[in-house]
Amino acid sequence: MGLSRRNVIPLYVQVEAALRQRIAQLRPGDPVPSDRALAAEFGVSGMTVRQAVGRLVDEGLLYRAVGRGTFVASPRMEKDMSGLTSFSEDMRRRGLRPSSHVLECTIQPASAEAAEALRLATDSPVVVIRRVRFADEIPMALERVALSALSFPGLVDEDFTTQSLYEILEHRYHARLMVARGTLSATAATALEGRLLGIRPGTPLIIVRRVAFNERNEPVEYGESRYRSDRYSVPIELRRPPRLDIAGLLSDVSTNVSRA
């Protein structure tokens, strides 16, 4: 197993990849060599090994136990169940072919809600796109999104029948959406919604309302999707908030012995 300095790939990524291969041949609960042993084996420093192992721990492939060692975690039920993806990506992942019928694609003054979510002045121009979303020709969802028209000039002229909004944002505007937050609720389909989705009025719809943010944590997309609950379920992954609250601890700390 050769690692390479003078390579674009950081050492810790190389170590991570090597460990990944090794883990694949182990069973859950099996120990992985200690940090020190790995450092010696790969000829790198302890911090570098630690960084590599840390990433695999974050990913859930390994877990650490102080004083005992590092071990292979149990495998996930499925991989990539959750994550920020566009409808197109989402459907392709499920092995379905996505397409759209564009109901509306215009520039109009931002609604109060959209303006607040996108942190724009009220009445700022936004591009509003409303689509019926299909998977293998079957209507799956209604979607309405709003983006700042000033931030994305020319966006309104794109063809959203086949193109993915997220891919346009990434390739044409170099805007990469990193995280979305919002809420999920449910409602009964109205007559109009039922007609557009080919279901009976009253059928439950899953509502996903969200704001998507770029790398700088600036809001980029405000949107709402309404999915047929008979044909769609949303994969979720919930993590325990790990951060411990030490508010107010600092003042105590400062009264203790301070540094030499």
Applying CB under 7 A, the residues found at the interface with DNA are 10-13, 32-37, 43-48, 50-51, 64-70
> Nearest CA to 177 among 114, 223, 129?
223
Touching its own copies, residues 135-174 (CB under 8 A): none
**Three-class secondary structure of residue 89 per DSSP:** helix
Among DNA, its own copies, none, the one that 10 touches (CB under a kind-dependent 5 to 8 A) is: DNA
Q: How many CB atoms lie within 10 A of CB 40?
A: 13
Residue nearer to its own copies on the CB measure, 71 or 105: 71
Binding-residue pattern over the window 197 to 236 for its own copies, x denoting contact by CB under 8 A: -----xxxxx-x-xx-x-xxxxx---------x--xxxxx
* Rounded CA separation 191/33 (Å): 62
Query: Going by C-beta distance under 8 Å and a sequence separation of 6 or more, which residues neighbour residue 144?
Result: 128, 129, 130, 223, 224, 225
Partner whose footprint covers residue 176, from DNA, its own copies, none (CB < 5 to 8 Å by kind):
its own copies
Contact 166, 177 (CB under 8 A): yes
Q: What is the largest CA-CA distance in the chain?
A: 74
Interstrand relation of 204-213 and 31-32 (parallel, antiparallel or unpaired): unpaired
Instruction: Name the pairing type of β-strands 138-148 and 219-228.
Output: antiparallel
* Binds its own copies by CB under 8 A, chosen from 40, 45, 76, 94: 76
Considering only 182, 193, 196, 224, the residue that binds its own copies (CB under 8 A) is: 182
Query: Which listed residue (66, 77, 112, 121) binds its own copies by CB under 8 A?
Result: 77
Closest approach of DNA to the CB of residue 145, in Å = 29
Q: What angle do CA 103, 135, 237 make, to 5 degrees?
A: 105
Q: Which is nearer to DNA, 191 or 253 (CB)?
A: 253
Task: Tell me how far apart the alpha carbons of residues 126 and 147 are, in angstroms, rounded to a whole number.
Answer: 5
Interaction partner, residue 187 (its own copies, DNA, none; CB < 5-8 Å by kind) = its own copies
Query: Could you say whether residue 67 binds its own copies (CB under 8 A)?
Result: no
- Least Å distance between CB 106 and its own copies? 26
